[in-house]
Amino acid sequence: MFEASSRIRLAAAIEALGTTAREAFAHLRHAGVRGVQWPAAAAGLRPRDLDRGGRRDLATVLRRFELEMSGVDLPIPAEHFGDASRVDRAVAAAEEAIRFAAEFSRVPVCMRLPALRRGDVDGGSSSSEAEGAIAAVLAVADRHGVRLADETVPPPDTSSDRALVGLGLDPVALLAGGFDPAAVALERGADVVAARWCDLDAAGVRLPPGLGGRLDVVRYRVSLEIAGFEGHVVIDPRQWNDPIGGVAISVDAWREAASPAEPS
């Protein structure tokens, strides 16, 4: 069974790994993965679906499986924060995810924020609407001590809100957008608060790392280590043909990518 290094640990997003959270936990335990990336938009698993007792039960089950929470995924389209018909629901979901993350060791919340620093918002929505929405979300994050991992592509400037917002590296999104994930990790290492472990083939199909996709797995892992990333690298099996088998392949690829050589 493979154990990740003390600085960087492996986790996996669980939504595609079983019909229940317990099934997914069992798969992770078997694969030697110790971190759970929580799907905050999945039916029955949304933070608003889990009352205080449900969250206590979740914490107990995680301990029983010897797992820990690695982060929370909140796939809200960024343009919803600037859309008057959707902004209230988007803000409420983000605030619920933040409060949920705070109860599990203040893990990061991975999402995509509006492109406010470029003077507009994705989809051409109201910039002022989005600014107010994000200000409200950041206030809740600040109050609970939770950082947001912005997975927007191109990678945004997080310098003005660095205490609350860092980068979330999604190799699939970066590759699709014409970026080298390893280069981004090296260049923006101090800002990285979350990172995924997934790949994209030449046809644009998602697949596990190590199966000949576009991601240079050695350079990406070593770049994260050189950049000083400390946290979980999240195996992301969404849309894989065999999510459970893909997790095992991803664990092997992470182990085999370990190298003392610096990336070129």
- 253 with 213: CB under 8 angstroms? no
Does a structural domain hold residue 261?
Answer: no
Instruction: Tell me whether residue 3 is in a domain.
Output: no
Q: Is residue 81 part of a domain?
A: yes
Q: Is the pTM of this model over 0.75?
A: yes
Residue 207, beta-bridge partner list:
199
- 193 in a structural domain: yes
What stretches of 13-51 show up as alpha helix (H) in DSSP?
Answer: 21-31
Give backbone dihedrals phi and psi of 166, rounded to 5 degrees, phi first.
-125, -175
**Residue 150 DSSP one-character state:** E
Domains contained in the chain, number: 1
Domain membership of residue 199 (yes or no) is: yes
The domain that contains 43 carries what CATH number? 3.20.20.150
Q: How confident is the model over 142-171, as pLDDT tens digits?
A: 999 999 999 999 999 888 888 999 999 999
For residue 194, how many C-alpha atoms fall within 13 Å in the half-sphere facing its CB? 36
2 assigned to some structural domain:
no
**Would residue 110 count as lying in a domain?**
yes
Provide long-range contacts, Cβ within 8 A and 24+ apart, for 28-31: 28/65, 28/67, 28/247, 29/65, 29/66, 29/67, 31/247, 31/248, 31/251
In this predicted structure, the answer to whether residue 1 has a pLDDT above a threshold of 50 is no
Which residue segment(s) compose the domain that 94 sits in? 8-256
Q: Is the pLDDT of residue 262 over 80?
A: no
* pLDDT at residue 99, as a whole number: 98
pLDDT tens sequence across 48-91 = 999 999 999 999 999 999 999 999 999 999 999 999 999 999 99
- Residue 93 within a domain: yes
Q: Which two tokens stand for residue 138?
A: 């950041």
> What's the mean pLDDT in 168-193?
97
- How far apart CA 171 and CA 151 sit, in angstroms, is 10
